[in-house]
Amino acid sequence: MGGLAGAGIARAGFAVLVREPKLTLPIIGVVPGLGEKWMLTVMFIVLAPLIGMILGLALMVAMSWIFQHRAPRSIDKWFRKLQLMSAAAYSLGHGGNDAQKTMGIIAGALLAGGILTPEEFAHGWDRISGTSFWC
């Protein structure tokens, strides 16, 4: 997302990012800026690590309280196995959307090059992906 935004800014300036003129938040009210989706993305770039840190701290404290009366050796044995499972799940989730991101870049390039119309870009993924064979 940042790469596409940077390319657009380099080509035509910040005006290319303005899709909706403002963001309206329940407590704050109207926030002028780049538009609702861009502002939410920018906000969560800052908020996501803070939320993760707070949830991680809460989970760590909960696990410490739950297992405080257990032998460290038995807990270590279980947590080593669980850490392998956690790492496998993390890597699967982290890499699971890589092909979709690449497909989005390709589709954006086809739209920018005039090969796709905006309607095909929004609704014609079978033409791009080759799944029209199955439809």
pLDDT score recorded for residue 27: 73
User: Using CA atoms, how far apart are residues 106 and 112, in angstroms rounded to an integer?
Assistant: 10
pLDDT in tens, the chain (135 residues): 677 777 777 887 777 766 655 666 677 666 665 566 677 777 888 899 999 999 999 999 999 999 999 998 989 999 999 999 999 998 888 777 777 777 778 888 888 888 878 877 777 555 555 544 444
Phi, psi of 117 (to 5 degrees): -85, 165
What torsion, rounded to 10 degrees, do the Cα atoms 92, 97, 102, 106 define? 160
Say which residues have a Cβ less than 8 Å from residue 133's Cβ, sequence separation at least 6. Answer: none
pLDDT score recorded for residue 121: 76
> Which structure tokens are listed for 5?
């935004």
Say which residues have a Cβ less than 8 Å from residue 29's Cβ, sequence separation at least 6. Answer: none
Give 24's strand partners. Answer: 30
Single pTM value for the model: 0.53
